[in-house]
Amino acid sequence: MSNSYCVAILGATGAVGRELLELLESRNFPVSELKLLASERSAGQKLTFKGEDLLVEPVSDRAFENVDIVLASAGGSTSKTWAPIATEKGAIVIDNSSAFRMKEEVPLVVPEVNPQAAANHKGIIANPNCTTILMAVAVWPLHQIKPIKRIVAATYQSASGAGAKAMAEVQAQARAILEGKQPTAEVFPYPLAFNLFPHNSPLNDWGYCEEEMKMVNETRKIFGDQQIRITATCVRVPVLRAHSEAINLEFESPFTPDEAREILSKSPGIKLMEDWQKNYFPMPFDATGIDEVLVGRIRQDISHACGLELWLCGDQIRKGAALNAVQIAELLVEKSLLKPIPSLVNG
């Protein structure tokens, strides 16, 4: 006998939903039954799991009957509608949208950073924003050695952050430009191919966009430290998949690059990538399709004795979204925070 669980993927046909499906299979998550849920428009498609074609169902109240875990990646408004219904039916919802992240009663979890927070859930656990996850994995180990006073982040965000349609739009724009045609934009406000622009989320009264404030507020919540000063500039760049970030850290005392390398080389979820002679450091090509956050170009900030610079790349769809959610589900299983459904190993 072994314990297995009924899992539902809400938003199964999207880029993150499909990645969730692949990760549940490749990581051999103990699934007794898998439900693929989407809008009426996307329902009826078939997706493959462990060699079996599964029909995508329209989301409904009945769809959450007997479900243990819901992996939700269908947008904030969808999560606000269906997450409470799923929890009322007894499921734990791991939500990838921004709908619940800053709710005091909802844990915001990066397993490499604050796994203990998952135990405090009341039915919903929030997955942080992609840029926040990648940065948190990279800087948390350093923060544990010497507290960080200030973080200055600049992000270079791929089209995948806006979903599969955005990725297709950038490809279409690139073809149009190369053919001498005028590119059109529907998902993004402006053409992204051969272009870049500040992140297009809404601006607040201080001139910071929503994406930048997510990095500020979510990092403080995950770290459990409201005193860290954080500022960010988020930029959309013409990359299909995998985000990059330039991070400047100010510590309470000097932190040498060699010390940082030693710590990060032993930290979970991180892979160091530095070849100073070839000037080769992490790139989106390197990060695409892998689990680790790639970190490199660690150097002393010449403008501040207690400053440290680093560069990172991470797969936005994978660790920035789907993988983090599956890792949270694995954490729930490992810590016995789910009610198991007995099932035979061989079916």
Torsion sign (Cα): 84, 86, 89, 93: negative
CA distance 140 to 134: 10
For residue 151, what are the CA distances in angstroms to 10, 13, 143, 219, 326?
34, 36, 11, 10, 28
Closest to 247 (Cα-Cα) out of 315, 151, 130: 151
Closest to 115 (Cα-Cα) out of 336, 266, 290, 332: 332
State yes or no: 13 annotated in a binding site. Answer: yes
Q: 51 Cβ partners below 8 Å, 6+ apart?
A: none
State yes or no: 303 annotated in a binding site. Answer: no
State yes or no: 101 annotated in a binding site. Answer: yes
For the record, the structure tokens of 46 come out as 């078939």
Closest to 86 (Cα-Cα) out of 47, 125, 33: 125
State yes or no: 15 annotated in a binding site. Answer: yes
CA distance 276 to 292: 21
State yes or no: 62 annotated in a binding site. Answer: no
Q: What's the angle, vertex CA 133, arms to CA 131 and CA 251, rounded to 5?
A: 90
**199 catalytic, yes or no?**
no
Q: Are 141 and 263 in contact (CB under 8 A)?
A: yes
State yes or no: 229 annotated in a binding site. Answer: no
Identify the DSSP state of 61: G
**130 catalytic, yes or no?**
yes
State yes or no: 210 annotated in a binding site. Answer: yes
Q: Are 243 and 130 in contact (CB under 8 A)?
A: yes
Catalytic residue among 121, 143, 199, 243: 243
> SS3 of 291, please?
coil
Q: Are 239 and 284 in contact (CB under 8 A)?
A: yes
Catalytic residue among 6, 121, 130, 199: 130
Beta-strand pair 69-72/2-10: parallel
CA distance 223 to 10: 28
State yes or no: 207 annotated in a binding site. Answer: no
State yes or no: 316 annotated in a binding site. Answer: yes
State yes or no: 14 annotated in a binding site. Answer: yes
Task: Give the residue numbers of the binding site.
Answer: 13-16, 41-42, 101, 157, 160-161, 210, 236, 316
Q: Catalytic residues, which ones?
A: 130, 243
Task: Give the residue numbers of the binding site for phosphate.
Answer: 101
Task: Give the residue numbers of the binding site for substrate.
Answer: 157, 210, 236
